[in-house]
Amino acid sequence: MKSTVDRRNKIIQKIQSEGSVRVDELSEEFDVSTVTIRNDLDFFEQKGLIDRTYGGALLRNNVYNDPSIEEKKKINAEEKKRIGEYAAGMISEGESVILDSGSTTREIALRIKDKKNITVMTNALNIGLELAGSSGVEVMMTGGVLRDKSYSLVGPEAERNMKHYYFDTLFLGVDGMDFEHGLTTSNPLEAQLNCVMVERANRVIAVTDSSKFDRHSFSFICDLDPINAIITDDKISPEFEEKFKKRDIEVVKV
């Protein structure tokens, strides 16, 4: 089972990167039969993620959108700044926190540089660099393999290093959040590391602008149960806000 999951993760990353794939080339690359590859592509097509073509498949431009961190910074920028400011105010002296990679969590990092006696673990190179000169902030990096689009470190090494520690709070960014699919992100390796982050934090706070609600991306992180609070903007629908509250999830609108 693990080999199937690993292969499919690699296939979908290839489709994301190249836009299209061929069955015969994938069969040779992964040393499996063409029947196995067709089953993999059927799996993705049934999820509405690709379009099959003769002898291959094409990326379907919906849930696979994986813009760069520079592109993300420009989307709902003012909302992200307000979310970042509020989240930064929740971090107290002596706390240990995880900052997930992303444009919203970067806004948190920009606002905690003057805090004293806090520990921040992150998988984001840009966040680590932002905090590097802060005398009151001890910065820990997960290590791992660099994703150049997001400046994030992912992979087995990052996951192993994260498992050595426990943290007070995780500030988690997502690409999608709904009541059927839970929390999702576009990249499978990001999702796997995010799952470990959730397990190692005493409190999990999702930081996301309201455009991410009622949508899902490819890779599952976790369901809504571990989420203690959501910090978002004031455009969240009353229906969604009420549903979150019924799940005992605090909703903070900024």
Residues in the chain: 254
Least confident of 10-14, 15-19, 31-35, 150-154: 15-19
CATH class (in words) of the domain with range 69-253: alpha beta
Quote the strand ranges of 4-117, DSSP E. Answer: 20-22, 50-53, 56-59, 96-99
Residues 158-217: pLDDT tens digits? 999 999 999 999 999 998 898 988 999 988 889 999 999 999 999 999 999 998 898 888
Starting at the edge strand that comes first in sequence, how are the strands of the sheet with 176-178 ordered?
A: 176-178, 182-185, 219-222
In 3-state terms, what secondary structure has residue 251?
Answer: strand
Beta bridge partners of 229: 205, 250
pLDDT value, residue 55: 87
- Same topology, domains 2-59 and 69-253? Answer is no
Q: Which tokens go with 183?
A: 């929390």
Cα gap 177→15, rounded to integer Å: 23
pLDDT value, residue 2: 58
Going from N- to C-terminal start, the domains of the chain cover: 2-59, 69-253
Residues 216-240: pLDDT tens digits? 887 889 999 999 999 999 999 999 9
Residues 123-168: pLDDT tens digits? 999 999 999 989 999 999 999 999 888 899 999 999 999 999 999 9
Residue 72 reports pLDDT greater than 80: no
CATH class (in words) of the domain with range 2-59: mainly alpha
How many CB atoms are located within 10 Å of the residue 30 CB? 18
Q: Per-residue pLDDT averaged across 67-74, rounded?
A: 70
89 or 219: whose pLDDT is higher? Answer: 89
